[in-house]
């Protein structure tokens, strides 16, 4: 029995993917390839435009560049492997590969969470305290916010991976998911996972639920300020912009909370896969559109990027 368990623990995991139906694999491959390329191009162009244009060196764009870079990396942790597995017969991944994928997935996901909160705070300060904006959102403050987001996310990820690495997997190694994730792996483990679930509901809540609540509070204060604007067209434009931002943020956090903040015994693989697609593929693709491509300054910077014309801060 011990030899069998040891052999099982050393066996690779098999990622079952989005579907087990051969007929659905090619259509899903095409769909997710299009979504992935759109997300990579959108986020990559935003990073390039902000870096190239002096007109986009305001705090909002500094934070946005880091969000786009994090989104670009976030989708690249899981989607290429998922696309390869949709066409491949061998869908295995080693335990080491699984842990590495999980590490970067958790780190970049929490970075996204923290940066979204920082961007909401930036908009709050800009609208509610415009006279103090330059000091409250100075370059030093923005750098500290971004540095904290990256540091906290990697510490969070390292903590979780150290716990996951101690688990034993002596039953099935078939993972009903398209990447290595918490809940499916915890269902496969024959170790006591209560300490990891406790970690998710405590430390995990601090880096996911707390930023979400901060974002809701920031947008609530922004909405109160917007309603006092004298111009009806200004109110409508502000409500439209904030509404689209809040919709994407709610989709991201809502699906994350639905997947992770539930007991492992209640986790349903099919629903989990659908929810995971929302925050791993859909929201990173939507972020460039919602936060950037409707912005005239960003549109000007993108035109300048394609035409080779240099744009100055005075042009904005």
Ramachandran quadrant class, 166 (left: phi over 0; alpha: psi -120 to 50; beta: rest):
alpha
CATH of the domain at 161: 1.20.1070.10
Handedness of CA 210, 283, 71, 90 (dihedral sign): positive
pLDDT for residue 9? 55
- 72 within domain boundaries: yes
pLDDT for residue 108? 96
Distance CA 78, CA 67 (A): 17
- 13 within domain boundaries: no
pLDDT for residue 253? 94
Range(s) of the domain holding residue 177: 20-307
- 313 within domain boundaries: no
Contacts of 158 by beta carbon, 8 Å cutoff, 6+ apart: 103
- 315 within domain boundaries: no
- 169 within domain boundaries: yes
Contacts of 36 by beta carbon, 8 Å cutoff, 6+ apart: 75, 79, 80, 83, 281
- 2 within domain boundaries: no
HSE-up of residue 13 (Cα within 13 Å, Cβ side): 26
- 24: tokens are 């659905």
Contacts of residues 125-129 at CB distance under 8 Å and 24 or more positions apart, as own/partner, are: 126/60, 127/222, 127/225, 127/226, 128/221, 128/222, 128/225
Contacts of residues 299-305 at CB distance under 8 Å and 24 or more positions apart, as own/partner, are: 300/53, 300/55, 301/49, 301/50, 301/52, 301/53, 301/55, 301/56, 302/45, 302/49, 304/49, 304/52, 304/53, 305/45, 305/48, 305/49, 305/52, 305/53
Q: What domain count does the chain have?
A: 1
pLDDT for residue 315? 52
- 177 within domain boundaries: yes
- 1 within domain boundaries: no
Distance CA 20, CA 47 (A): 37
pLDDT for residue 244? 78
Q: Residue 230 CB: number of other CB atoms within 10 A?
A: 6
Distance CA 213, CA 48 (A): 31
Mean pLDDT, each 10-residue run in order, the chain (316 residues): 48 88 91 95 91 85 94 96 92 92 96 94 88 92 96 95 89 87 89 88 89 91 78 70 82 92 84 91 89 76 75 50
Nearest alpha-carbon partner for 266 in 187, 194, 212: 187
Residue tagged 């005075």 (tokens)? 314
């Amino acid at each position: 029995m011990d030899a069998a368990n040891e052999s099982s623990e050393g066996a690779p995991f098999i990622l079952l993917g989005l579907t087990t139906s051969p007929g659905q694999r090619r259509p899903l491959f095409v769909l997710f390839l299009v979504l992935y390329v759109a997300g990579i191009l959108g986020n990559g162009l935003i990073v390039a435009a902000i870096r190239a244009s002096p007109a986009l060196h305001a705090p909002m764009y500094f934070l946005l560049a880091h969000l786009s870079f994090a989104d670009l990396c976030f989708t690249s942790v899981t989607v290429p492997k998922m696309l390869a597995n949709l066409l491949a017969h061998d869908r295995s991944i080693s335990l080491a590969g699984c842990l590495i994928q999980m590490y970067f997935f958790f780190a970049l996901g929490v970075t996204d969470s923290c940066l979204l909160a920082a961007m909401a705070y930036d908009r709050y300060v800009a609208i509610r305290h415009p006279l103090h904006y330059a000091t409250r959102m100075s370059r030093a403050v923005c750098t500290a916010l971004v540095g904290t987001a990256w540091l906290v996310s990697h510490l969070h990820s390292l903590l979780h991976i150290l716990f996951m690495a101690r688990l034993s997997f002596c039953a099935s190694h078939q993972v009903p998911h398209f990447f290595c994730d918490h809940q499916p792996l915890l269902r496969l483990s024959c170790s006591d996972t209560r300490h990891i679930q406790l970690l998710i509901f405590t430390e995990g809540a601090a880096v996911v639920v707390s930023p979400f609540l901060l974002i809701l509070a920031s947008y609530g204060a922004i909405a109160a300020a917007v309603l006092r604007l004298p111009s009806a067209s200004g109110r409508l434009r502000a409500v439209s912009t904030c509404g689209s931002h809040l919709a994407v943020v709610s989709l991201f956090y809502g699906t994350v909370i639905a997947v992770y903040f539930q007991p492992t015994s209640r986790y349903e693989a099919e629903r989990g896969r659908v929810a995971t697609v929302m925050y791993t593929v859909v929201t990173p693709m939507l972020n460039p559109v919602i936060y950037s491509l409707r912005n005239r300054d960003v549109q000007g910077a993108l035109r300048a990027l394609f035409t080779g014309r240099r744009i100055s801060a005075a042009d904005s």
